[in-house]
Amino acid sequence: MSRKGDEFFITTMGPDNKEHTYKAKYLIGSVWKQRYVTEFKNGSLHILPVQWNVKTQEWVDYHGLKKYKPGSGKYWSDKQRTYQFKCTGCHNTGSEFQYDAATDTFTGTKWSDKGVACEACHGPGSNHIIAEGDDLSKTIVNPAKIYDPNRAAMVCGQCHTRGSSVKKLFGVQKTGYPLDYKPGGQLNFVYDPKPGLLPDDEFSRQHHQQYLDWKKSGHEATGVMCWDCHYTHRQGASNKYQTKLPGSLLCKNCHVDIEKAGVHGIHSTNNCIGCHMPTTAKSATPGDIHSHSFQVLDPAKTVELGAKEPNSCNLCHYHKDDKPADMAKILDEIRKKGRTIKR
Ligand code: HEC
Ligand code: HEC
Ligand code: HEC
Ligand code: HEC
Ligand code: HEC
Ligand code: HEC
Ligand code: HEC
């Protein structure tokens, strides 16, 4: 890696198996990791093969030579890995580009806003700007007023779901993001979810799947929405992941009558999130993303499915006497005999 003034470069193996120096034109990410985007002569944007992990402060390989060869379809410079087809729909608002398959050329790549902006969640706003009176509210989507909770949550689900478009764009490739989705619309008509799951086939192993998790939960059934727990308009580091209250206070605000007995009588601290939103998924490093199905991942599952299956208890209890089998036994006993802590 090198630097000239305010410009940053990465020298690495390109599509022709030879070394070239590529300029980092754009940067994505700040919370978990950063990736760097370069532009090829044909207008295609590619994600350079080096990733910065924020928490561990280290550089790691990303679709580079450690794992893939140029031409394998998975190497960073391969045709199948362009930012236009794979990323821009979720990481920018109002993305546009043209692609000519005959000449393999991209033209007119642009977006109306960098990152997630108003129109990503509220739909197109041009008519709203010029509207007056009653027309003001008719010309814009308020996600909180979409009647069906599941359809409302699709506003977030358009990006917080892993999958691919149903249609091929320009008849060439499916995109990593939904095509032709607008807030208020029906996501499942245009987007096929393909979540990365743990061996149990239920809990999330990969990131940006919060909507799919939530759909499995009692919160979906009763209409407890993403924005009941998260601020949608705060900027900067107001608190971790923009939750409306910190830690368990968020849960206790609604769940006022959790008994201090049985499984809920084990801990003096009773950290709801620790047990009900275990950090099973990975963005930059394993376990940096929370499960959103609000189910407890039982240590008996780890015993049954092996070490690739984490569980809620062992994510905190990792001493040598706390093997999954020991935790499963304790949990089983507590369920049978009960346990109450004075708080
Ligand atoms: C379907 C939507 C979607 C697509 C497609 C997508 N992402 Fe993301 N990405 C997200 C969401 C949502 C998050 C944040 C939530 C999470 O990670 O669970 C995220 C997180 C990230 C982050 C970390 C952000 C941070 O602040 O740390 C980076 C970097 C990133 N994506 C890069 C990419 C690249 C590169 C591509 C294309 C190869 C891509 N993403 C494709 C939705 C998407
Ligand atoms: C990540 C999605 C998202 C983005 C981006 C977003 N909003 Fe919102 N907005 C929502 C949701 C969800 C609601 C309703 C629930 C709430 O208030 O949190 C809302 C509510 C509102 C409301 C209140 C409507 C009412 O009837 O009270 C206004 C006004 C608004 N947004 C304007 C904006 C503007 C302007 C921007 C850009 C600067 C923006 N929003 C960006 C999701 C978003
Ligand atoms: C256009 C795609 C898109 C939409 C729509 C979207 N998100 Fe995100 N969201 C992202 C990406 C990408 C990130 C990663 C941060 C970044 O790079 O901006 C993110 C990050 C987050 C975070 C982590 C906090 C942070 O500041 O990074 C939360 C919480 C979140 N989104 C909730 C929501 C909710 C709730 C909605 C619906 C009201 C929503 N998002 C709609 C793409 C989207
Ligand atoms: C806005 C109110 C609200 C908030 C905040 C809230 N819940 Fe809930 N929760 C509900 C409602 C309503 C139900 C469905 C009725 C019930 O089972 O009590 C529910 C159900 C549940 C269930 C049982 C449903 C199932 O899928 O089996 C669990 C577990 C749960 N919530 C955990 C949590 C946790 C953990 C938090 C904090 C991260 C939380 N809740 C925050 C309102 C809320
Ligand atoms: C030690 C782990 C643990 C902690 C901490 C924990 N739970 Fe639970 N919770 C469980 C388990 C396990 C179940 C399922 C019942 C069972 O297996 O016996 C459950 C069930 C639930 C249910 C559905 C059934 C019911 O009792 O109504 C709700 C709602 C719930 N928990 C909310 C919470 C809230 C809110 C907190 C924080 C105050 C919390 N839990 C803290 C392990 C935990
Ligand atoms: C019942 C409350 C609740 C609901 C509903 C909820 N979240 Fe969260 N979310 C949380 C909590 C708690 C965290 C972890 C905060 C922390 O670490 O302090 C979190 C973390 C996140 C993060 C950061 C990455 C991660 O998963 O750890 C994203 C992104 C996110 N939520 C998106 C969403 C989206 C999108 C929805 C709706 C589909 C949603 N959330 C619904 C409580 C909720
Ligand atoms: C968020 C972290 C966290 C999670 C998740 C967690 N624990 Fe704990 N556990 C603790 C801490 C800290 C203590 C000691 C302080 C206390 O009692 O709160 C403890 C204490 C205990 C004790 C009491 C030990 C003794 O000597 O009496 C038992 C039993 C226990 N945990 C079982 C479990 C089981 C079973 C689970 C999974 C369902 C679990 N824990 C999940 C952090 C956690």
- When pLDDT is averaged across residues 53-61 and rounded to a whole number, the result is 96
Question: How remote is the CA of residue 156 from the centroid of ligand 2, in Å?
Answer: 12
Residue 260's pLDDT is 81
Residue 341's pLDDT is 65
* 284 has a pLDDT exceeding 70: yes
Residue 313 near residue 327, CB atoms below 8 Å? yes
Query: Six-digit token pair at 263?
Result: 């499984």
Q: Which residue has the tokens 């940067």?
A: 27
* 14 has a pLDDT exceeding 60: yes
Question: How remote is the CA of residue 275 from the centroid of ligand 4, in Å?
Answer: 13
pLDDT confidence band for 337 (50 / 70 / 90) = confident
Q: Which residue has the tokens 């590529």?
A: 22
User: Considering only 169-178, 197-206, 260-269, 277-286, which range has the smallest mean pLDDT?
Assistant: 260-269
Residue 220 near residue 226, CB atoms below 8 Å? no
| Residue with CA nearest ligand 6 atom 22 | 241
Tell me what the pLDDT averaged over the chain comes to.
95
Residue 320's pLDDT is 85
Question: What value, to the nearest 5°, has the Cα angle with vertex 250 and ends 152 and 210?
Answer: 40
In this predicted model, what pLDDT tens digit does every residue of 105-134 receive, in sequence order?
999 999 999 999 999 999 999 999 999 999
Question: How remote is the CA of residue 293 from the centroid of ligand 4, in Å?
Answer: 10
- When pLDDT is averaged across residues 86-112 and rounded to a whole number, the result is 97
Residue 332's pLDDT is 94
* 224 has a pLDDT exceeding 80: yes
* 171 has a pLDDT exceeding 90: yes
Question: How remote is the CA of residue 226 from the centroid of ligand 6, in Å?
Answer: 7
For ligand 3, which residues put their CB under 6 angstroms from it?
29, 31, 90-91, 115-116, 120-121, 143, 155-156, 158-160, 226-227, 230, 232, 241-242
In this predicted model, what pLDDT tens digit does every residue of 258-268 receive, in sequence order?
878 889 989 98
Percent of the chain topping pLDDT 90: 90
